[in-house]
A and B are shown apart, each in its own frame.
Chain A
Amino acid sequence: MKFLRVKHLNIWSVFSFLFVLGIILSNLLVFTSLLQPPSENWQHIKDYLLADYISNTLLLITFTGLFTFLIGTSLAWLISFYDFPLRNFYKWAFILPLAIPAYIGAYTYTGLLNYTGIIQSFLRNSFNFHVNPKLFDIMNIWGAVFIFTLFLLPYVYTIVSSFFQNQSASLFESARILGRKPLNILFTVLLPLARPAIIAGVSLVVLEVLNDYGLVQYFGIPTFSTAIFKSWFGMGDIDSAIRLAASLLIIVFFILALEKLLRGKRRVESSTAKIRSIPLHKLSGYKSMLAFTYSFFIFSLSFLIPLLQLFYWSLITYSNVLSNKFWQLLWNSIFVALVATCIIVFASVIIANFQRISGTKLSKTYSKITTFGYSIPGAVIAIGVMVLFINLDQKLFWFYKIVNPESAKLVLSMSIAMLIFAYVIRFLAIGFNSVQTGFEKVGKKFFEASRTLGMTTTKTFLRIDLPMLKPALVGGFVLVFVDVLKELPLTLILRPFNFDTLATKVYQYANDEMIPEAAVPSLIIIAVSLISIYFLNKITMKEER
């Protein structure tokens, strides 16, 4: 296997090194000040606030994790093994909530349920029925769990259902033939088998919850991400912000370790086994009704109702909101998302290929660091990237002077490059995972054959691997694109002059207490995401066939 040991300096290693360096630098600069003694604010935070941050954060991740597990897995089970009315529709409909960012879900449900919202005012105006407003109050920690669960559900659903469909079909059949009852099969065969997939899905959900800023900020729930913003900006105390960030990272590490531990040695392999279509078991009578109603209930809550509400608001407000400037927003959003996504896919391919062909410890570390970026909450990345870019500008000033004698001192950190760089760090893991899975699916056989037949690594990559990777690349591209489009905290802090995106506009309207006005940009984010998901689905379907 000598040919696998590629010389250390080739373009793959160099580029990989550069991308990884970017991630490390921007985080390291933040953590250097951890070594300094804590400020007096830290004492105050510790005495009065920290307990709240920890308990709220833990409550949120525990219950969101639990509910997404229960609902996501049960839906995946129903869809994968049973036939009931509209089953084929629900199969992809449960992916759709992915298009609605949690913060938009939160704004929508708040506007829907509050005193001036459609439900309460309908009851009041039509039946003169005054409900206890506390019953409809969603702006608390349980409301947050409700919203997170609804809109993060697809993470668990998609991973678990693809696992069920690909891995456990034959086992399910055997168990059924041997006379086991469905629930018995679920608990004794399917759930233990699906454990790695469930844990992978729930971990993603938990990381998303930890990263969220828009929802918890709007609901006024003190968590780590709001606390980082608050102590950094509110108290002007970066030191405390970093300490909070470090505490948050400890939780993240803990979750990652827990995931590893619980998952054991198994990895979620997307489809190494031969895919056979499972003969669906037709449900009848009340069981069929039950499955249908349950699915309809979840689909309504997590997609239909918020969408209808947003449409209604858009009808009222579109004339105030739509203007030339609005098209600029759309263009901005799509443009930054496209550029960031291209870079991410490009980097993912390089790092994944480097890891594959070199297989050294170094390259494995690279891929770990790459994946780590996704677990770092946006607030933390924003701090790091800003420090890094201002440093860079100071170092590069001589160069700016050569290009343009009248150049300003800050060029990079005033440009959109800073924001795009931050997106790359944050979302590289998503692109990387898709590409890596793609590589794993392709395997090394063709690569090795091609190399034995005398092709260079690079040539092999271009002629053999790239065409086979195409579905994985497109899949990764779509996932990253949608995520960048929805991103809020990084965009809020790092955007340059005169630069708004759809997401920041939604946030702005919601925080100016104008939720109906936020509907139009929200709907467009959702629409673009939906189109992307549709294409993704089409590609994976093609692949399955």
Chain B
Amino acid sequence: MLTKRKLVTVLSILLTITLALAACSAPENAQVNTNDQENGTVNLYTDRHYDTDQMLYDLFTSETGIKVNVVKGKSDELIERLEREGDATQADVLITADAGRLYKAMEKELLQPVDSQILTNNIPQNLRDENNNWFGLTVRARVLVYSEAKTNESELSSYEDLTDSKWKGKLLVRSSSNIYNQSLLASMIAINGEEKAREWAKGIVENFAREPKGNDRDQATAVVSGEGDIAIMNTYYIGKMLSSSNPEEVKVAQNISVFFPNQETTGTHINVSGIGLTKSAQNSQNAIKLMEFLASEEAQEIFAEANFEYPVHPDVQPAELLKSWGEFKTQDINLSLLGKYNKKATEIANEVGWK
């Protein structure tokens, strides 16, 4: 039975090699795991995929020598992962492109408050959690987009007005499974109450130009192509379309106009991309340094210029394009409410048939 033993040896060696290879391949993991508590890394989970973000992390590394490790995923998946990993998680920082998701992470007790003069000074109160569990970094507004060839600006007024029968068959908006729409509906619940919000959602569905499909850019395109008249979309996509690699998309963006709804009443719906320190952060000093860096004037300017988002820092100017649209009144609610009413909003959307 010598051969059998030999074979077992060969097999186990093979297996060990494979495992060892697998272990080595996990890039940087070995270093992340141990040794450098508080000496040179910060691990972050983010649902923002923009190449500009990586630029900012690189800048942070070159200024502080702290290495930034990034896991990208969808916000809900990252939160689920944080929850499963519990106090063993290696993530120090969570970034999501929606305040509601940060609230959800806070509800699940995955975040901890950060006491930082810099953060509280640089970020207005309504754009961060009241107990400083999370902080907004950039602002986007959910606006109406129309074509001047077909629609007169004076016909537009508010989100509520979109349920009027004059818009029947003319409204374009993406699926309610998208977080931006859930948060918009959540803000309606927060401001007008659940019943009014349900009626509103129902009215929106009745005025659909087509079944919800595609992303925000597709809604703007459908305005230009004539499938509908009014699209609901986020501001920064217009900037991104204008700088698109596809000349046809640039043309579309040049043919649409932006309208900030509810200026006379409750204000335009805004949302933030925000950041929070995880409860079990092992590199919390570095994490806070990163948070402060991202809220600094230097970083805020990059956010504003490269990604067409409104900076949260009051002293930093938005990009020229955004400035050209003028200033606007925003919804006056704490953004935590977007998270609080998220579940209700999803349910209402399902009930009224907003696909």
Chain B residues with Cβ below 8 Å from A234 are 76, 177, 346
Q: Are A116 and B25 in contact (CB under 8 A)?
A: no
Chain A 485-520 near chain B by CB (<8 Å), digits 1 or 0: 000000011011111100000001001111011000
Contact across chains for A497 and B32 when beta carbons are under 8 A apart: yes
List the A residue with the shortest CB-CB distance to B88.
A409
Tell which of B3, B18, B251 touches A342, judged by Cβ atoms closer than 8 Å: B18
Residue pair B347, A44 in contact (C-beta under 8 Å): yes
Q: What is the chain B residue whose CB lies nearest that of A409?
A: B88
Chain A: minimal CB distance from B268 (Å): 22
Q: Does B298 make an interface contact (CB < 8 A)?
A: no
Known: A219-B213, A409-B88. A134 touches B227 (CB 8 A): yes
- In the complex the two chains form, what is the Cα distance from A415 to B33 in whole Å? 10
Complex interface: chain A residues within 8 A of B76 (CB): 233-234, 236
Cross-chain contact of A408 among B50, B88, B350 (Cβ < 8 A): B88
Given A139-B213, A235-B343, A513-B240: A497 touches B88 (CB 8 Å cut-off): no
- Asked whether any CB of chain A lies closer than 8 Å to the CB of B112, the reply is no
Chain A residues closer than 8 Å to B50, beta-carbon distance: 512
Q: Which of B18, B215, B227, B246 contacts A116 (CB 8 A)?
A: B246
In the complex, whether B245 has a CB less than 8 A from a CB of chain A is yes
Is B23 engaged at the interface, CB distance under 8 Å to the other chain? yes
Alpha-carbon distance between A511 and B214 when the two chains are bound, in angstroms: 10
B222 within 8 A of A: yes
Residues on A with C-beta less than 8 A from B71 are 495-499
Q: Is A220 engaged at the interface, CB distance under 8 Å to the other chain?
A: yes
Partner of A410, one of B19, B49, B88: B88
Chain B contacts with A in 201-238, Cβ cutoff 8 A: 210-218, 221-222, 224-227, 237
Closest A residue, CB atoms, query B77 = A233
Which residues of A are found within 8 Å of B237, using beta-carbon distances? 513
- Interface stretch, picked from B6-14, B114-122, B128-136, B142-150, is B6-14
**Interface status of A208 (Cβ within 8 A of chain B):** no
Report the nearest A residue to B85, measured CB to CB. A410
- In contact, A140 and B32 (Cβ under 8 angstroms): no
Query: Is the Cβ of B246 less than 8 Å from the Cβ of A11?
Result: no
Query: A417 to B26, alpha carbons, bound, how many Å?
Result: 8
Give the docked Cα–Cα distance between A182 and B301 (Å): 72
A226 and B50 CA atoms in complex are apart in Å by: 24
Q: Does B28 contact A (CB under 8 A)?
A: yes
A411 within 8 A of B: yes
Residue contact A116 to B221, C-beta cutoff 8 Å:
yes
Report A424-465 residues with CB < 8 Å from chain B CB: 456, 458-459, 462
Q: Which residue of A lies closest to B178 (CB)?
A: A220
Residues of B within 8 A of A508 (CB): 49, 72
Distance (Å) between the CB of B284 and the closest chain A CB?
15
Considering the complex, which residues of chain B in the window 311-355 have a beta carbon less than 8 Å from any beta carbon of chain A? 343, 346-347, 350-351, 355
Residue of B nearest to A339 (CB): B22
Report A-chain residues with C-beta under 8 Å of the C-beta of B55.
Answer: none
Residues of B within 8 A of A (CB-CB), count: 77
A492-B7 contact in complex given A114-B221, A498-B28, C-beta closer than 8 Å: no
Q: Across the interface, do B3 and A115 meet the contact criterion of CB distance under 8 Å? A: no
Query: Would you give the shortest CB distance from A183 to chain B, in whole angstroms?
Result: 41
Interchain CB contact under 8 A, B224 and A512 = no
- The distance in angstroms between the C-alpha atoms of A408 and B224, with both chains bound, is 54
Most B CB contacts (10 A, CB to CB) among A335, A386, A458, A495 go to A458
Q: When the two chains form their complex, are residues B25 and A335 in contact, meaning their CB atoms are under 8 A apart? A: yes
Is A268 interfacial (CB 8 A cutoff)? no
Considering the chains assembled together, what is the distance between the CA atoms of A36 and B76 in angstroms? 23
Residues of B162-188 at the interface with A, using a CB-CB cut-off of 8 Å, are 174-175, 177
Interface: B249 (CB within 8 A): yes
Which partner residue on chain B sits nearest A44 by CB separation?
A: B347
CA distance A492 to B72 in the complex (A): 9
* B25-A512 in contact (CB<8A): no
Check A459 against B35 for contact (C-beta < 8 Å): no
CB distance from A239 to the nearest CB of B (A): 13
Chain B: CB-nearest residue to A404 = B34
Q: Mark A211-235 against chain B: 1 for CB-CB distance below 8 A, else 0.
A: 0000000011010001001101111
A-chain residues with CB within 8 Å of residue B252 when the two chains form the complex? 115-116
Query: A511 CA to B77 CA in the complex, in Å?
Result: 15
Which residue in A117, A137, A236, A498 is a CB contact (below 8 Å) of B104?
A236
Residues of B within 8 A of A387 (CB): 84
In contact, A49 and B350 (Cβ under 8 angstroms): yes
The answer to whether A48 and B350 touch across the interface, beta carbons within 8 angstroms, is: yes
Partner of B346, one of A235, A406, A409: A235
Interfacial chain A residues near B240, Cβ < 8 Å: 513
| Bound CA span A218–B258, Å | 26
A416 lies within 8 A of B34 (CB): no
Q: Quick check: B224 and A220 within 8 Å, CB to CB?
A: no
- CB of A130 within 8 A of CB of B217, answer no
List CB contacts (< 8 Å) of B1-45 with chain A. 1, 3-4, 7-8, 11, 14, 18-19, 21-23, 25-29, 32-35, 37, 43
Residue of A nearest to B352 (CB): A48
Contact, CB under 8 Å: A140 / B74: no
Expressed in whole angstroms, the Cα–Cα distance for A226 and B227 within the complex equals 27
> Can you report 28 A-B residue pairs in the complex whose CB atoms are below 8 A from each other?
A115-B222, A133-B222, A133-B227, A220-B177, A222-B177, A233-B74, A235-B343, A235-B346, A316-B246, A317-B245, A390-B85, A409-B88, A410-B85, A416-B26, A417-B19, A456-B1, A496-B27, A496-B71, A497-B32, A497-B71, A498-B69, A498-B70, A500-B72, A511-B49, A512-B50, A513-B237, A513-B240, A516-B246
Interface residues of B (CB under 8 A from A): 1, 3-4, 7-8, 11, 14, 18-19, 21-23, 25-29, 32-35, 37, 43, 49-50, 69-74, 76-77, 79-81, 84-85, 87-90, 104, 108, 174-175, 177, 210-218, 221-222, 224-227, 237, 240, 245-246, 248-249, 251-252, 282, 343, 346-347, 350-351, 355
For the A-B complex with A44-B347, A406-B37 known, give 14 more contacts whose Cβ atoms are closer than 8 Å: A11-B8, A114-B218, A335-B25, A408-B34, A411-B33, A415-B22, A415-B26, A458-B4, A496-B29, A497-B26, A497-B43, A497-B90, A499-B71, A508-B72
Q: When A and B form their complex, which 7 residue pairs have the shortest distance between CB atoms, in order from nearest?
A: A233-B76, A409-B88, A116-B248, A115-B225, A48-B350, A416-B26, A133-B225
